[in-house]
Amino acid sequence: QVQLVESGGGLVQPGGSLRLSCAASGRIFSIMGWYRQTPGKEREMVAVISSSRNTNYADSVKGRFTISRAENTVYLQMNSLKPEDTAVYYCYAYDYVAYWGQGTQVTVSS
């Protein structure tokens, strides 16, 4: 019943920009956001946004990434990308239960 579908990932050079989108269906969520994961590492929070539009960012992306939300869609504008931003990015949604998107690959490399 709930689906989170990400888009916007790809290959970009250091210093470039990407915009990720996640369209949620099935319900309205209290919290939505983005996590990322590289092989062998734990999934880490990148940015989250509440239904009231309060936001939190990982220290590593503050000043470079911006999360926004419109109804059932959450966006992550990623600027000044660095190689260490390379990961699979997962859309996250929470109300009483957590839901995850399928993930979209972001690769930052020259």
List, for residues 36-88, the tens digit of each pLDDT value.
999 889 999 999 999 999 999 999 999 999 999 998 899 999 999 999 999 99
Query: For residue 79, what are the β-bridge partners?
Result: none
List, for residues 4-40, the tens digit of each pLDDT value.
999 999 999 999 999 999 999 877 899 999 999 998 8
Residue 26 is predicted with a pLDDT of: 72
Q: How far apart are CA 18 and CA 35, in angstroms?
A: 15
Q: How far apart are CA 52 and CA 18, in angstroms?
A: 25
